[in-house]
Structure 1
Amino acid sequence: MGYLTTHVLDTAQGCPGSAVRVQLFRLSGISRVLISEMLTNTDGRTDSPILPEDEFSVGNYELVFAVGDYFRARGVELAEPAFIDDVSIHFGIAEKGSHYHVPLLVSPYSYSTYRGS
């Protein structure tokens, strides 16, 4: 069985993004269902897979990272509204038995992601 993990790296400060709220939604047509919500730990990772083996299935998903709240909590001065507040990543899971890892590299003015290992 597969599973989904994620982590956040703060590229502006050069450190893990700790205490970032991460939400995972399953997408189907216009339906968007919240599956899980977690905070990243001091290493910028969730303590367990955000989509564990027993809930893992092929389909379309969305990860939402509350990075604006993270930067505000760290005392970073952001414009109002912030240039980047919530980062939403839509992705597909096509291989039922695989480990999917979706990291987020973020600063107040940019972000990137990729399928990690």
Structure 2
Amino acid sequence: MSIDPEQKAGGISVHAVDIARGVPAAGLGVRLFLLGAERVEIASGNCSEGGLLQHPVMDGAGVQRGVYEAEFDVGDYYRANGVAIPDPSFLDVAIFRFGIDKLAEHFHLPFKFTPWGFSLFRGGA
């Protein structure tokens, strides 16, 4: 199978939900990195009121075939929301590594978390 370098990327979207409190994770800090010879940040920001990371990466900006890491600032999120968590927190920064082989497909990352753990998978495939 050959890879067309002109192929439009399907994009990466993030939807975060604080399942400990049963709310979208408004304000959660998120960063996406493309891994290779160097670790390159392709997106960063805070999730919207609905828990979505609003960034051009959703429409494919900066996305290419390869391996990625997503970082989620769970500890900072809970501290900012007045939730009592240990110091140091059990889960501070959640890191998830994933690969994109089929560039034209959209990769949706539903991130569900508590101060004690998280679940992340490819949704909407």
Fold in common (TM above 0.5):
yes
Q: What's the counterpart of residue 77 of structure 1?
A: 84
2:35 maps to a residue whose letter is L
Question: Which of 87, 102, 105 is equivalent to 1:98?
Answer: 105
Percentage of identical aligned residues: 34
User: What is the match of residue 27 of structure 2?
Assistant: 19
**Taking structure 2 as the reference length, what is the TM-score of the superposition?**
0.87
The runs of at least 4 aligned residues of structure 1 exceeding 6 Å deviation read: none
Which of 22, 25, 40 pairs up with 1:33?
40
SS in structure 2 of the partner of residue 50 of structure 1: helix
Provide the alpha-carbon RMSD of the alignment: 1.3
Distance 1:87 1:61 in 2: 14
TM-score by length of 1: 0.92
Q: Is the 8 A contact 2:13 2:58 kept in 1?
A: yes
Distance 1:38 1:62, change over 3 A: same
Native 8 Å contact 1:19 1:42 kept in 2: yes
Q: Which has the larger radius of gyration?
A: 2
Structure with greater proportional strand content: 1
| Unaligned runs of at least 5 residues, structure 1 | none
Unmatched runs of 5 consecutive residues or more in structure 2 = 1-7
